[in-house]
């Protein structure tokens, strides 16, 4: 990575909620004090603030969306292929902000943070959070940065959920919204997968009621990740990538150890996840996703729940995504159209499954770039 790109990556912490009046009020009825948000910015904010873009991450993401913090970093940010100088979300043109959600484990306040009231780690004393709580914290960051209006709020998967809450709760805070491979309400199937993943963590003897120290519940978290990772792929992509290939020998072991390449891959993914993610954070964030249902705000009427939306939408889904299938995006589009909102929709043909929002860089990237350029031109033409 060039020195120029490295200079564009700025990481910082935003702290608020030390005073009682400044605490973050949560949907569960509790308040969160001494809140920290870890965030990164890329590019330069124009004097009129018209080029500010908020990217909101998925379940296992964080604030580090692009670039490397140092030349020694093994990997760049999680959407580096899409965000950066000269890329689809061009940081020579846009001022990009991305923050780690509350409840996370990458710098923002979460269950492994210190509870200011006790001086000890929150662990399971951390209050249960919702997607809307995450957005409330991000709105505090927006005000802190002095941004009056986002050009666009972009998010894939859980990030798309946050983008929807932004559009409903703060309808005058953005010029456009781009939910990708997302949904307006988590399906029973997705809730079921989250439940089994959490049960794997809770059943790990090292979990210790959430009060683990260095001996973390890695096995339970690894199993939760393996289960979730299956839902991110598609049958076609797994068949193409692994087939029925054996991993370590030319014949079956006739034992219950790793035989197939796909088993080895999942084991690797689970192990890697435990090196960068926290088990308690996984519990809290997946529960926040479970509770996500925009339509519940209006008795199950999705269009009524979206009545406050004012800005144009670009909704994107992927043909092989069976975790958040295209039909769920179509439901969102229909509800927005019922309210006479300006909506563009595309279902991208892809074999990558849910992970396509991270991998279909060329097709998705051109779509995002064109949409954002048009929104920026429309603002300047007013």
Rounded to the nearest angstrom, the gap between the alpha carbon of residue 86 and the centroid of all alpha carbons in its chain is 23
The residues annotated with a catalytic role in the active site are: 157, 321, 354
> For 3-186+292-380, which CATH class?
alpha beta
Statement: residue 345 has pLDDT above 50: yes
Contact partners, residue 162, CB within 8 Å, separation at least 6:
56, 101, 131, 134, 135, 138, 153, 155
Segment among 8-12, 153-157, 252-256, 359-363 with least mean pLDDT: 8-12
Give 222's contacts (C-beta < 8 A, 6+ positions apart): 267, 270, 271, 273, 274
Q: At what angle do helices 279-290 and 218-232 cross, to 10 degrees?
A: 40
Could you tell me where in the chain the CATH 3.40.50.1820 domains are found?
3-186+292-380
Strands 83-84 and 89-90: parallel
**pLDDT for position 1:** 36
Pick from 350, 303, 317: nearest CA to 160: 317
pLDDT digits (tens, 9 = 90+) for 265-278: 999 999 999 999 99
Q: What is the predicted pLDDT for the residue at 74?
A: 87
How far apart (Å, rounded) are the C-alpha atoms in residues 6 and 241?
A: 34
Q: What is the mean pLDDT of residues 214-239?
A: 96
Work out whether the CA dihedral 53, 130, 309, 340 comes out positive or negative. Answer: positive
pLDDT value, residue 213: 86
Residue 4 has pLDDT above 80, yes or no: no
Span 52-61, mean pLDDT? 98
Q: Can you give the pLDDT at residue 3?
A: 35
What pLDDT was estimated at residue 2?
A: 38
Rounded Cα gap, residues 204 and 307, in angstroms: 44
Q: What is the pLDDT of residue 381?
A: 79
Residue intervals of the chain classified under CATH 1.10.1740.110 are 193-285
Terminal CA-CA length for the chain: 38
The CATH code belonging to domain 193-285 is 1.10.1740.110
Residue pLDDT, tens place only, 153-203:
999 999 999 999 999 999 999 999 999 999 999 999 999 999 999 999 999
- What pLDDT sits at residue 382? 72
- Answer yes or no: is pLDDT of 10 > 90: no
Residue 72 confidence (pLDDT) above 60 = yes
Could you give the percent of the chain with pLDDT greater than 90? 92
């Amino acid at each position: 990575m060039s020195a120029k790109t490295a200079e564009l990556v700025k990481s910082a912490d935003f702290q608020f909620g030390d005073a009682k009046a400044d605490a973050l009020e949560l949907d569960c009825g509790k308040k969160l004090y001494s809140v920290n948000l870890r965030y990164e910015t890329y590019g330069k904010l124009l004097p009129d603030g018209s080029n500010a873009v908020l990217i909101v991450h998925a379940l296992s993401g964080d604030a580090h969306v692009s670039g490397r913090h140092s030349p020694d970093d093994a990997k760049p940010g999680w959407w580096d292929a899409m965000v950066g100088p000269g890329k689809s979300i061009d940081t020579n043109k846009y001022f990009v902000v991305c923050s780690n959600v509350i409840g996370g484990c990458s710098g923002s306040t979460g269950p492994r943070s210190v509870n200011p009231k006790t001086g000890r780690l929150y662990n399971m004393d951390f209050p249960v959070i919702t997607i809307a709580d995450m957005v409330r914290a991000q709105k505090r960051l927006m005000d802190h940065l002095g941004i009056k209006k986002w050009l666009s709020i972009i998010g894939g998967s859980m990030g798309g959920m946050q983008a929807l809450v932004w559009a409903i709760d703060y309808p005058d805070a953005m010029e456009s919204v781009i939910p990708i491979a997302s949904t307006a309400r988590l399906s029973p199937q997705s809730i079921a997968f989250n439940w089994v993943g959490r049960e794997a963590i809770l059943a790990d003897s090292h979990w210790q009621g959430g009060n683990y120290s260095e001996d973390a519940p890695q096995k339970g978290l690894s199993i939760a990740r393996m289960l979730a990772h299956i839902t991110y792929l598609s049958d076609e992509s797994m068949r193409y990538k692994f087939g029925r290939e054996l991993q370590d020998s030319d014949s079956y072991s006739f034992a219950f150890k790793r035989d197939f390449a796909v088993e080895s891959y999942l084991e690797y993914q689970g192990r890697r996840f435990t090196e960068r993610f926290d088990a308690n954070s996984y519990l809290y964030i997946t529960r926040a996703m479970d509770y996500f249902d925009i339509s519940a705000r209006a008795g199950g009427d999705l269009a009524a729940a979206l009545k406050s939306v004012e800005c144009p939408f670009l909704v994107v889904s992927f043909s092989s995504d069976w975790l958040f299938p295209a039909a769920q995006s179509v439901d969102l589009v229909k509800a927005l159209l019922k309210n006479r909102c300006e909506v563009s929709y595309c279902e991208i043909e892809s074999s990558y499954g849910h992970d396509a929002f991270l991998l279909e860089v060329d097709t998705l990237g051109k779509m995002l770039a064109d949409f954002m350029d048009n929104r920026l031109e429309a603002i300047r033409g007013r």
